[in-house]
Structure 1
Amino acid sequence: MARERIAIIGAGPSGMAALRAFESAERAGAEIPEVIAFEKQDDWGGQWNFDWRSGIDQYGEPVHSSMYRNLWSNGPKEALEFAEYTFDEHFGRPISSYPPREVLWDYIDGRVRTTNVKDKVRFSTAVRWVEHHEDRDIFTVTVEDLKNHQTTSSEFDRVIVATGHFSFPHVPEFQGIETFPGTLHHAHDFRGAEKLADQRVLLIGASYSAEDIGVQAFKMGARSVTMSYRSGPMGYDWPEGMEELPLLERFEGATVSFSNGETREFDAVILCTGYLHKYPFLPSDLALQSGNTIYPAGLYRGVVWQGSPKVYYLGAQDQWFTFNMFDAQAWYVRDLIMGRAELPTAAERTEHLQDWHQRFQGVGGDADAVRFQAEYIRDLIGATDYPMFDLVEVVRIFLAWKDDKKKNILTYRDKPYRSVMTGSLAAEHHTTWLQELDDSLERYLSTPEETDVEKAVRGVDTPDAPAPGNVRGEETPTA
């Protein structure tokens, strides 16, 4: 009997988790299906694969990544750490709790760097269409080799959708926005805050993109940063020069009016207004249609498409947990495909969906949401051989992280946490986040010489050291 053929669409962290799950089983001596992953970028890593381009890539395709320069993890790495490949194992020593983008890319790449997993990925290949033949219960997947301009189709027994849902921006309309004379774009196209120096910046939104781009702009010397919220403010103790205002009502050139009657003038506007679940390669009967929620409707155990249970989604949820949740999902999907886990009947899956949806309706705030997702992950891991880890402690880390941000939105990234996998305490980075302007892997892992300014702050006499002052990037202000 021929081996099943599995198509994985996307080779970001979710697709890489699926590849790792199959590789793990093969390494343990199991015979695995034929697995082929399609990735339209030239390398894997998804959002963590930085591309300076915005809008359209070198092949004329929509740019997938929303990554920007100087992005550092905005949550403790201890909450996303792989249970079967730790940061200590990868770097050979503890590192800080909030690494920059290149360090995290190196970590997820390093887990499979010494395996043959990359041979299973067809890079620079865009999936154009997936057709389900119900009479034979197979799928025709049509792809385009973007480098060679060749379109081919082949048949697969199952499809894993691992493209994520943070690539197609949601762009609302605002009265008069077409009259704004400054720079205007969505957070998806934001590539760095350096150009916002001395600019009056408006961020429309009140979630993680607005928060992080806002403090990035402040760090890089923006003259002012205003964040406009719809349902409620983030409510941090913002430093001088940052503020939150309720939803804007209209633009009149550079002047923006807000619903509380106040007006401001701006030089730059960034829409931090979220993303759409959009799968242009799927027919409507296979495509998930959902808002950004931690429990999307139509996915049994968050991964199996109820309408066609040989279609699976990884990473389709709103996320507190990330890399380790993708692993839990990937290991469970692998076991369903390999017959190690039994798929219930459609009626039983519906009952399970309704039960979990009812539990989700009881989620009352962030703390409840984190605990809900932790229990979701516990449920998945319990059905596989993925290593269980201390989910209760990870929840505690998440809640402590939120408290850290409330205390000081500019310094929370300087705090170390303890790994739930190894027990080791994170190192303190050699430079505070507010002072660190180099996010390279080389700089991060180095031990730079202490500058005269740093010595002066410590009270060490130096020949021509300037007196410490309230200069952004030289001394960390208190929020």
Structure 2
Amino acid sequence: MQKQRIAIIGAGPSGLAALRAFESAERAGAEVPEIVCYEKQDDWGGQWNYSWRTGIDQYGEPVHSSMYRNLWSNAPKEALEFAEYTFDEHFGRPVSSYPPREVLWDYIDGRLRSSKAKDKVKFATAARWVQHHEDTDTFTVTVEDLKTRTTSSSEFDRVIVATGHFAYPNVPTFEGIETFPGSIEHAHDFRGAEKFADQRVLMIGSSYSAEDIGVQAYKMGARSVTLSYRTKAIGHDWPQGMEELPLVERFEGNKVHFVNGQVREFDAVVMCTGYIHNYPFLPSDLAIDSPNNVYPSGLYRGVVWQENPNLYYLGAQDQWFTFNMFDAQAWYVRDLILDRAELPSAGDRAAHIQTWVKRFHDLSTEAEEVRFQADYIRDLIDNSDYPMFDLDAVVEIFLAWVRDKKENVLTYRDKQHRSVMTGTMSARHHTPWIRELDDSLQRYLSQPEKDEIEKMMDDEDVVKSVRTK
């Protein structure tokens, strides 16, 4: 019998999860299919593979990554930790709960660094088209080698789409925006907040990008930061110099009018308005057409394309959980491909989808949404051999994180959390986040001498003296 061939499109965290899932089975003695992974960037890591480029990359392709230079994890690492490769194992000691991007990329890379997984990845290779053949129930995947500008096609039995959905920005327009004399960019193109020093900055949006880029701008010395929400304010206890206002009504030069009648002047605008599902290499009958939410339509168990169960998606959900959810998805998809898990009939799949869709539409709070996603992951793990972990404990970490941000959005990254995988309490980073301007891996793992401010803060007598004045 001819060996199955599997195409994985994308080598970000989701694609790496798929590679790891098959590698895990192979190490345990299983016979696995031939796997080819196509990645249009020069290295793996997806969003975590930072590039200074915006718009178009060195090959003339749309830049995939939305990563910015000084990003630190905006959720506790204990909520995204791999169940079968812990931070303790990777770093050999406890590290803080909110690492910067370079540290998280090192962790993602480290899990597969000593494996042969990279041999299966064709880098600088963009997927151009996927065609399904009904007569043979196979796929032709056409790709372009971006370095040689040559196009080739190969046949596969299954296709795993692991390109994520944070690469194609949703960019609305507003009356008069063309008259605005300052800079306008989407969060996808944002690379650093240093340029906002002494500027009045408007963030249009009320989700994590607006919150984090807004706080970054504040950290880097913006004169003021305003966040504009469409339906609901984030509602943090913002520091002086940050505020929330409802939706923008119109622009008049550098003056911006809001729907509540308020008017402000700005020097820069960042559209933190989300992303859309877009798969230009897929025909419409294979591509997700759904809003960005925690249960996108058309997917059985969130991964199997209902209309063609030989096509799979990883990481297509809006996300509370990330890396470990991608793992749970990848292990389940792998087991379907290896015939370790049984795929129900189309009718049973449709009924299963409808049950979860109804539950999704009944959600009304953030806490309910987190628990919904935890239950979704639990369902996947129950149907594979991925190590089960305490999902309820991770939910509590998320809820504590939400509370910490509401209490003080400038200090929540200084909090410590306990790993549900190892029981290890995270370390306290040597420098408070608001004063840490070096995001490098080397700096993060170092033990620098305390500066004069830190010494004063450690001196209880000095602190008491300042507080009583």
- Taking structure 2 as the reference length, the TM-score comes to 0.98
* 3-state secondary structure, aligned to 2:332: helix
Question: How far did 1:294 drift?
Answer: 0.5
TM superposition shift of 1:456 = 2.9
Q: Does 1:37 align with 2:21?
A: no
The aligned counterpart of 2:132 is 132
Q: Specify the code of the residue in structure 1 equivalent to 2:210.
A: A
Aligned ranges for residues 190-339 of structure 1 at < 5 Å? 190-339=190-339
Q: Deviation per CA, 1:336-364, whole angstroms, max 9, x where unpaired? A: 00100011110110111111111112211
What residue number does 1:404 align with?
A: 404
Q: Distance in 2 between matches of 1:365 and 1:442?
A: 40
Q: What is residue 5 of structure 2 aligned with on the other side?
A: 5
**Deviation digits for residues 393-449 of structure 1, max 9, x if unmatched?**
000111011011111010000000000000000000000100100110000000011
Report the Cα offset of residue 288 of structure 1. 0.4
**CA–CA distance in structure 2, aligned partners of residues 6 and 451 of structure 1:** 54
Deviations 1:262-301 (A, max 9, x none): 1111000000000010000000000001111101111000
Q: What amino acid is the match of 1:112?
A: L
| 1:441-456 pair list within 5 angstroms | 441-456=441-456
1:60 aligns with 2:60: yes
Equivalent positions of 1:317-466 (< 5 A) are: 317-459=317-459
Unpaired runs of at least 5, structure 1: 462-466, 469-474
CA distance in 1, matches of 2:305, 2:133: 16
SS of residue paired to 1:434 = helix
Q: Which residue identity lines up with residue 418 of structure 2 in the other structure?
A: R
Q: Does the residue aligned with 1:426 lie in a helix, a strand or coil?
A: coil
Alpha-carbon separation, structure 2, partners of 1:83 and 1:450:
35
| Inter-partner Cα distance in structure 1 for 2:306 and 2:324 | 24
> Within 2, Cα distance between the matches of 1:284 and 1:191?
32
Aligned-CA RMSD value: 1.2
Q: Secondary structure at the match of 1:363?
A: coil
CA deviation map 1:181-220 (0-9, x unaligned): 0011100000000000001000000000000000000000
Structure 2 counterpart of 1:149: 149
Distance 2:214 2:92 in 1: 34
Deviations 1:371-413 (A, max 9, x none): 0000000000001110000001000111011011111010000
Identity of aligned residues (%): 74
Displacement of 1:460 in angstroms is 9.5
Post-superposition shift, 1:459? 3.7
Q: Alpha-carbon deviation of 1:173?
A: 1.1
Per the alignment, residue 464 of structure 1 pairs with: none
Aligned residue identity for 2:442: E
CA–CA separation in structure 1 for the residues paired with 2:357 and 2:210: 29
Deviation at 1:16, TM superposition (A): 0.2
Equivalent residue letter for 2:236: Y
Aligned residues: 464
1:105 alignment counterpart: 105
Per the alignment, residue 178 of structure 1 pairs with: 178
Which 4+ stretches in 1 moved above 2 angstroms? 456-461
For residues 207 and 95 of structure 2, the distance between their equivalents in structure 1, rounded to whole angstroms, comes to: 27
1 CA distance for matches of 2:373 and 2:446?
36
Deviation at 1:2?
1.1
